[in-house]
Structure 1
């Protein structure tokens, strides 16, 4: 079968650094960002999704040789397309119609005016279909998980249905004209406040103001939060009524200028105690509970962890109020609790609660070990009462809206609109659950509440914070409704989208011949279904009548979920078999239904702990690749996407990017079978030029192993099979190891192209680092390269004295060095002087000037930086040195661009141009 498709930009080159920079910056965006609609795990950055979709659909210039006949013309066109992407990925341009329309026009041009549908069959948090919709494409998403489906509907499907419609609430309107979903957003905000007021009528007696001590000025104050300690009965048989507090942190506030803590004050008989808040730095007790057990805060007796678990599982774990956080005239403060405060909370009437079981014996769920076996158990009585009050209030939304009709909606349209408003308000409640449960904690450094599920787990919390959901602080449900409204307010779209519940392993009848862009589950990283049950019971209680097809099941489906759960499937082998078979089946189905005109883009997120042990051939990664290739896809490229800032590069060394985008094409039907030897020969022939191209694009050294996977797996996956010596097919893991070995050979091989003094310095650095070594060893090393130690010393690379030789550190190099005046110039010097200036000033004028002065030697200096990064990170384990090489290559393109502008390289020539 002859290839008939046009090669797309993503198959050749993308402006990776600009995408990574925008993706990292996006993590700090909160107000209005779609990720704040509702919690979902491991969302891909919108910037990365937007850029990948654009590059999937837009032709690479090499596909149009009539218009771009030369290499130079093609490079110029890529540069123009890169500029569009660089604008497109900026968060502030996500609603800029001028920038978006420029990108849409390029897509229309490459697609001949007929836009293909984009489909993400694992849509999760909805990032990919949302960005497809932003780019003007028909957007489709599906997921097995009902929580994900409702998130997708709320972001992609519902807002376009009410495009430019005015708000219908009966209060004063915020604006005269409404664009996109601004009217819907205003209604969500308005009815969020209404919901809060109605719920307050039901449970206000549970949230009374408290009397302030005289030292705080007296009067009354609103409670922001209550700080609780869990308790177990004392193991001392002589003290049957003593409930021992289990406290991980007695601090309430811990800042340089202020310390607030809780003291345990026992009675004289040491049969009981009470808590007192202290406002000083006096002897704060240490934690009295840990991994091995506890110590009684009253008697000092040891309490084994087994005893704590036994009592907890018998239903004998209680709670005592430690402190109360209040809002005073002078700001937030802390007061001691009273029995009356504790009594109000503990005697709240029982309400409905979720009965779904929390997974037992699971590494991410510790609460069943302590008697909290159902999701309803992680809420206090008062929390259950207030959450139910909010949910029950939503039942009256129909009546509230219909009693004050303010719109031109027909009856059936109004029914639909009310259901949609209720969905967003249900999300406000659901989103607030992480702060309105007994697994939320009080951050003593910031003096604020931190919600549960900060990571993908429900760990046990011995000391927890109960927020006041009516106080306007963290966990206030009207506040979360406002944040939901802000997401709707910031949306922009041209077309309606669709999100539906579907098992990706099965063919769908809704969308065909689609562009596949997806972010599937990652082996055993996150078990979405179990985590989603934390929210699902409450969402179902709110939305079952409005969305019976999606919210009909009792709990989130789990057996079909494509994760390698050892808990669910009884062991690692069975878990991997489930993942492999399910993912292979899903990818096979998707490959058959997707369009052959466009490459597929598949995100894969790495689990760092797994990567540290196994490198790029880790079990999850290799299993995932195995499934993709077995489905009929051939991998033609890999792009590492980093969502962390460069200065957070883990340990400065070999930390891999957060995710990799696999670029895939359908495999040729007539693909042949080859031997291992044939594969190795093909790697040696084809991989070096591809790595050279990646280097030319200034791919950071830390990302090079992942980037090299693309062309390497492109060779492996284009064949039907690669046979080992025993005629068994080669595994993906074995292929990955061969690809990595070839990358190492390449980086080692380019050393031969450097001058002899530089080659000496590389080997000496690998053996000794910056420490001194014996002169005899240095002499032998130099002679093997046809030079002498004196030659390397004359070059200014080493110093030699008293029978010792050492490399001269960058910080000791001559600050007045000029490459044009050096009569013994080496690549080593060029790079080290450039690094010295880059470490001092980054993209400063001095650094750019040095790049310009190095001139034609710059590319060799970059090759050397790759070599030295590899030695520093992988052989010497020198984090500081590795970070320096990685950082300068990350800036290499910008340095080269600015250096090209210089026409006066004198030290006083800064005024001759504008950086």
Structure 2
């Protein structure tokens, strides 16, 4: 049987995915990104879309099983969906001409993945303003945030994957769609029945013959279901978004990452909520034994069980969420007993929210030597409705402040600019080099300037009291963590200031608070009932994650968001810059537990966990030959992100809280560096060439293992579209005996909105590949002719689907590589080998010529006609125009502006 192409190889609703990805960045509570910081995590909509489209066939492929085509009819057609939510567009909304979308099974699948609402269609057609973020996609769209726990929508996706997977298995290949869907219902119902029986058992946490039997029943039901679903693996799982969505769609999901911090994040986001975040029913006596009388008295009446008017038990909707919150609050109470005096209360018993500090630089003028706060500005809050600032009062070389509400009376210049200090007392400039010497030699002094408190209408601001200043002189000595930071990555520009160790990122009081939390957490481990070892491991994991969240906000390198009046953690960028003024959050006012609890609740509906590993990617022994159905991944790119260096910040604290829980994972002093698939020269003796070679070899090794382990498709998200990026990606894929079969530009990066709505150049590309036996040597002329024919067909097909601009060109690249990849090498007449860069130029020129379809005219006219075909009159990036001008033409983009063919806007 010839395998049909997967949907991802022929079509993707990239505009709709891009729109929801932009929204995804704005979702907060319950989102995977809200659990723990990780860098460059892919948005959930693109992960869900790519997983789904990689696992279902193209229904228009002649080899597509009839059962799958019939299942689309049953699940997505009008007769079974009131209102016909998956009807295709009557006019493709982002094109410049009237373009009805053909109503066929392939396009129905695309509309199921994501479809614009009518208001969004009207906006793209230029009729109305853009709807708010949550109203761009229809409620029935698979990738919409609101759909993630919608059983009706998610089960449609699971059923389609179920039919797709089982209709090509020999034992089930002759079954009809109705039979396969009925089989899904039987297996899914078995899981729900087993869940209901287990979770309705009172005191199910106590091991009895009955609880063991019901637990085993649930396990067996889930295994029977997963046995009939695809196996999906992400070897660079990082923050966990791809395995999370694979598991949500019912697949047997695997994730791997070499980084122990990523592994802990994956345990907390992909395994424990789905496994332990379930209802539990306690008898009254058992609840009080576990949590105490005070906690019992706090239980809401609707969560109590009554018999004859008496309370006989307690129902907890989510055991894991309840326990995590209970233990964290208990730890905070114990912490307050030890160090609560370090955060003085006022006469009403209230504590401040935040303390505002500044480092002090000494003026280098020998006759002045004033200690000057290193302030770039003086606002404490700066919103449209509220402005608060520190007003300097300078007298006799002494600097004091008063707090004033409203805008500046007159503009006040900051005292530090580009690291240079301008003394407000004498006007002298102290060079940044001298300030760095001060910090390295004796340390810059620090001064508490203001205190942020609760007010009647939000936050209020005042000067520190004598008690608040006095307590700072009585802080106990504390030992700082001595683990080293990495220069030029996690260190940012802090090294030149003498900040080279992670312990230097904390003030004394911050460090006291964190080390006290760690001590009490480790004490609590001995107090938690020890009968459920694996469940306790989950609780301890969240205590470690909570400590990480606290640590990232309890540093001297955080910032205040003046517009939002909130504290921003130190990882606003991909490196840690030097900070001169900072907010010190009161540890007892730092609300972090709700973020964890809401995430647990948000992902507890699923029955399906991901199996996660902490190992070096590229290990062929991890899976048997062709064990996996699909690999879907987002690999690193050269030196774009120093994952190991940055995550050492968290590793330092996780090793203290979880080193005994995960001894193997935290066996090393810091995160593994040399085996990481990156190109950071400071990990390769300072050699850029060695680092680049390491990355390329490692990527090839990993892709080689993937080809060995995977029986079907590999989908790769790559966050770069430069020629170098494409060259590296293509060489690694082709070198691992795979061939690219499709490529899509999807806007997955964090932006304020859709980039020009109609013709944006995406910064991410997703390619699909399959194992391929390339044979022999290709003749350049023959391969060029094949590429031209293939790209011409692709342009025609994709143009009818509404593809324009850079999106169309990117899609053509994949098809061009598929022709190129049929051969071990492609050679010109002189014997020289054709490079990937030449291939991409060939694909671009072929797409351009296909659009012109034999049109004969001068260079400017060709550009004009081709540009209109691709982009219409919509705005586009300068780089788009420059790239397009090189496609089969010999004109400079500057000439196009000179001739007024293109008009440059003010940006």
- With structure 1 as the length reference, what TM-score do the two structures score? 0.75
Q: Which residue of 2 aligns with 1:195?
A: 331
Partner in structure 1 of residue 482 of structure 2: 355
Q: Which residue of 2 aligns with 1:526?
A: 641
2:563 corresponds to: 445
Are the equivalent residues in 1 in contact too, given 2:231–2:252 (CA < 8 A)?
A: yes
Aligned-pair CA distance for 1:706:
2.1
Q: Deviations over 1:180-224 (max 9, x none)?
A: 99221121122222222222222111111357xxxxxxx775312
Map 1:704-853 onto structure 2 (within 5 A).
Answer: 704-724=808-828, 727-749=831-853, 763=861, 766=864
Tell me if 1:207 matches 2:343: yes
1:12 pairs with 7, 10, 15, which one?
10
Would you say 1:689 and 2:825 are equivalent positions? no
1:676 is aligned to 2:780: yes
The aligned residue for residue 244 of structure 1 is 372
Instruction: Establish whether residue 279 from structure 1 lines up as the match of residue 395 from structure 2.
Output: no
1:249 aligns to what SS in structure 2? coil
Distance 1:109 1:623 in 2: 36
Structure-2 separation of matches of 1:70 and 1:415: 47
Q: Per-residue displacement from partner, 1:773-802 (whole Å, max 9, x unpaired)?
A: xxxxxxxxxxxxxxxxxxxxxxxxxxxxxx
Shift in Å, 1:545: 0.7
Name the counterpart of 2:29.
31
1:132 corresponds in structure 2 to: 246
CA shift, 1:347, in A, is 4.7
Per the alignment, in what secondary structure is the counterpart of residue 690 of structure 1?
A: helix
Correspondence for 1:79:
107
1:363 CA drift (Å): 8.6
* CA deviation profile, 1:471-512 (whole Å, cap 9, x unmatched): 2xxxx1xx3221111111011323343111111122233565
Counterpart mapping for 1:576-591 below 5 A: 576-591=692-707
**Aligned pairs for 1:230-629 within 5 A:** 230-239=359-368, 242-268=370-396, 270=397, 272-280=398-406, 281-291=408-418, 293-338=420-465, 340-345=467-472, 347-362=474-489, 365-402=492-529, 411-412=530-531, 414-471=532-589, 476=590, 479-491=591-603, 492-509=605-622, 513-514=627-628, 515-569=630-684, 570-595=686-711, 598-606=712-720, 616-629=721-734
Alignment CA distance shift 1:347-1:526 (3 Å):
farther
| Count of matched residue pairs | 748
Among 146, 157, 170, which residue is 1:92 paired with? 146
Query: 1:162 corresponds to which residue?
Result: 276
Farther off after superposition, 256-265 or 310-319: 256-265
Contact 2:344 2:467 in 1 (8 A): no
How far apart in 2 are the matches of 1:727 and 1:369? 52
Q: Which runs of 5+ in 1 are unaligned?
A: 212-218, 403-410, 607-615, 753-758, 770-826, 837-862, 885-915
The alpha-carbon deviation at position 750 of structure 1 amounts to: 6.8
Distance 1:443 1:702, change over 3 A: same
Is the CA contact (8 Å cut-off) linking 1:275 and 1:337 kept in structure 2? no
C-alpha distance 208-45 of structure 1, shift in aligned 2 (>3 A): same
Structure 1 pair 254–116 and aligned structure 2 pair: CA distance change class (3 A): closer
1:664 is matched with 769
Unmatched tracts of structure 2, length 5 or more: 74-101, 115-140, 167-171, 173-227, 282-286, 306-313, 876-883
Equivalence for 2:86: none
Q: Distance in 2 between matches of 1:457 and 1:430?
A: 17
Measure the CA separation in 2 of the matches of 1:882 and 1:388.
Answer: 60
Of 577-586 and 243-252, deviating more is 243-252
Q: Does 1:116 align with 2:230?
A: yes
Q: In 2 relative to 1, CA 632–882 (structure 1 residues): closer, same or farther, beyond 3 Å?
A: farther
Secondary structure class of the residue paired with 2:448: strand
Q: Which moved more, 1:702-711 or 1:506-515?
A: 506-515
For the residue of structure 2 that corresponds to 1:230, the secondary structure is: strand
TM superposition shift of 1:649: 5.0
**Offset of 1:43 from its aligned partner?**
1.1
CA distance in 2, matches of 1:877, 1:655: 24
Q: Identify if the C-alpha distance between structure 1 residues 617 and 176 changes in structure 2 by more than 3 Å, giving closer, same or farther.
A: same
Separation in 2 of the partners of 1:536 and 1:741? Answer: 49
Distance in 1 of aligned mates of 2:698 and 2:8: 27
Equivalent residue for 1:793? none
Deviation at 1:118, TM superposition (A): 0.9
CA displacement at 1:7 relative to structure 2: 1.9
Q: CA RMSD in A?
A: 3.7
Deviations 1:822-843 (CA, angstroms, capped at 9, x unpaired):
xxxxx99x988xx89xxxxxxx
Matched position secondary structure for 1:734: helix
Q: TM-score under structure 2 normalisation?
A: 0.76
Corresponding residue for 2:357? 228
The 1:305/1:594 distance shift into structure 2, 3 A limit, reads same
Cα deviation for residue 25 of structure 1 reads: 1.9
Q: Distance in 1 between matches of 2:151 and 2:683?
A: 47
User: Structure 1's 874 and 464: CA in aligned 2 closer, same or farther, altered over 3 A?
Assistant: farther
Distance 1:332 1:399 in 2: 40
Partner of 2:735: 630
Task: Please report how far the alpha carbon of residue 442 of structure 1 lies from its aligned counterpart in structure 2 after TM superposition.
Answer: 1.4
